[in-house]
Chains A and B, each alone.
Chain A
Amino acid sequence: MSAAGEGQRRIERYIKEVRQRLRGLREDQLHEITAELRSHILERASGGSELTIDGVSAALERLGTPEELAREYAQDEVLARVEISRTPLRLLDSLFGWATMSMAGFAVLIVTISGYFLGVVFVLVAAMKPFHPATAGLWALRDSTGDLELSVRMGAGSAPSNGHELLGWWIVPLGLVTGCGLVILATRFALWCVRMYRRSRGRPRGGEPIA
C-alpha cells in the first residue's frame, strides 16, 4: 500500500473511532463533525503536498486521542443542547443523549422524568375532576394491614370503599398549580444540574458565553 493510501486508512480509522464514541448525537451532526475532522486532518497532514504517514500521525497526535476528542464533542454538544432546550419534550430528548454518555446524565434524566410524570398526573387528575366528580381526586386509603396511603385517582371505576377523598373540588386548582409547578421545578433542576456539571468541568455556561 502506498504512503498516501496508508495515511488515508489511518485517518478513516481515527474518524471511525471518534464516531463510534459519539452515539448520543444526531446523524446530521455526526456527518458535519466527521467531514470537518477529515478536512482538518488532510489539510494539516499534507500541507499542500503529498500525504505522508508521518504527516498524518503528527496531525492526529495534535488533535488528541479519539476518546479525548469525542468527549469534548459529545458532552459539549449534548450539554449545550440540554441548556438551550426550551420545552420539556426537547429537554427530555437532549437528556436522553446525555444519559447515554454518563451516569450523572442518567441520574438527572431519572429525576427529571419522575418530576414530569408526577406533574402530568396532577394536571390530569385536575382535568378529570369535572367528568368524575365522585371518584377523581386525592384519596386516603387504608390498606389490608391498616396503614394509610395516599392515592391519586383519575376517576375510572367506582369509588373505593376503604378510604375517603381529601380535597374535593380543591383538587382542580391545587392539581393544576402543583402539576405545573412540578414540571417547572423538574425543568429547572435539569438545567441547574447541567450548569453545575459544566462548571465542574471548567466550561463557561453555554447559554451565557459572556459570563
Chain B
Amino acid sequence: MTQFDAADRANKWEVQLRKGCLELAILAALWEGRRYGLEILRQIESDSELIISEGTIYPLLTRLKEFGMVESQWVESDSGHPRKYYALTATGRQKALEMAAIWERFSTSMGRMLDPLRREVKP
C-alpha cells in the first residue's frame, strides 16, 4: 500500500465514522424537543465536529422518518417561509436510548484500547 493509499483510506474512514455517528447525533439533538433542520445542524455543529457537508443531514432525516423514528410537521414562521420541524416518535426515543447505551459501551472499550496510543496522539 502506498503512502497516498493509506492517507486516502484514513480519510475515508474518518468520513464513514462521522456519517455513522450522525444518526445518533440527530436523535440526541431532538431529545429535548422538536427542531427544524437548521436548528439540528447548528446544535450538532456547536457540540461536535460531525458535519462535513450540510447536505448530509436532510437525507438522513428523511430516512429516519421513513423508519418511523422521527415525525415531521410544516410550521409557518415569522421569517416569511415555513419550517419543517422534526420530533422523536416513541420508537425514535427508544432507539436513541439503545444507541446511546451501545455508544457508551463502545467508547469505553475503545478508550481502554487506545490507552497505549494516548501519549503519541496530538489533539
Contacts and interface: CB of A to CB of B under 8 A. Distances in A.
Contact of B55 (A72, A203, A204, A210): A72
B59 interface: yes
A40 B59 CA distance: 13
A40 B37 contact: yes
Interface stretch (A60-68, A114-122, A143-151): A60-68
Contact of B58 (A33, A44, A68, A80): A33
A52 interface: no
A73 B121 CA distance: 36
The B interface is mostly helix, strand or loop, or mixed, namely helix
A206 B59 contact: no
A77 B81 contact: no
A84 interface: yes
Q: How extensive is the interface on chain A, given as a class?
A: 20 to 34
Given A63-B53, A206-B67, A43 B20 contact: no
Contacts of A29: 62
Given A38-B81, A63-B55, A202-B19, A76 B95 contact: no
A76 B62 contact: yes
B16 interface: yes
Given A84-B67, A207-B67, A76 B81 contact: no
B79 A43 contact: yes
A6 interface: no
Contacts of A209: 23, 64, 67, 69, 95, 99
Interface in A53-102: 62-64, 68-69, 72-73, 76-77, 80-81, 84
B83 interface: yes
Q: Which of B64, B66, B83, B98 has the most C-beta atoms of chain A within 10 angstroms of its own C-beta?
A: B66
A36 B62 CA distance: 11
B111 interface: no
A10 B80 CA distance: 18
Nearest to A47: B79
A125 B59 CA distance: 45
B11 to A, nearest CB: 12
Nearest to A62: B54
14 contacts: A38-B81, A39-B81, A39-B83, A39-B84, A40-B37, A43-B38, A44-B54, A62-B53, A62-B54, A63-B54, A72-B56, A73-B58, A84-B66, A210-B95
Interface of A: 29, 32-33, 35-40, 42-44, 46, 48, 62-64, 68-69, 72-73, 76-77, 80-81, 84, 202-204, 206-207, 209-210
Interface of B: 12, 15-16, 19-20, 23, 36-38, 53-56, 58-60, 62-64, 66-67, 69, 74, 79-84, 95, 98-99, 102
Given A35-B74, A68-B53, A76-B59, 5 more contacts: A32-B84, A33-B58, A77-B66, A202-B12, A202-B19
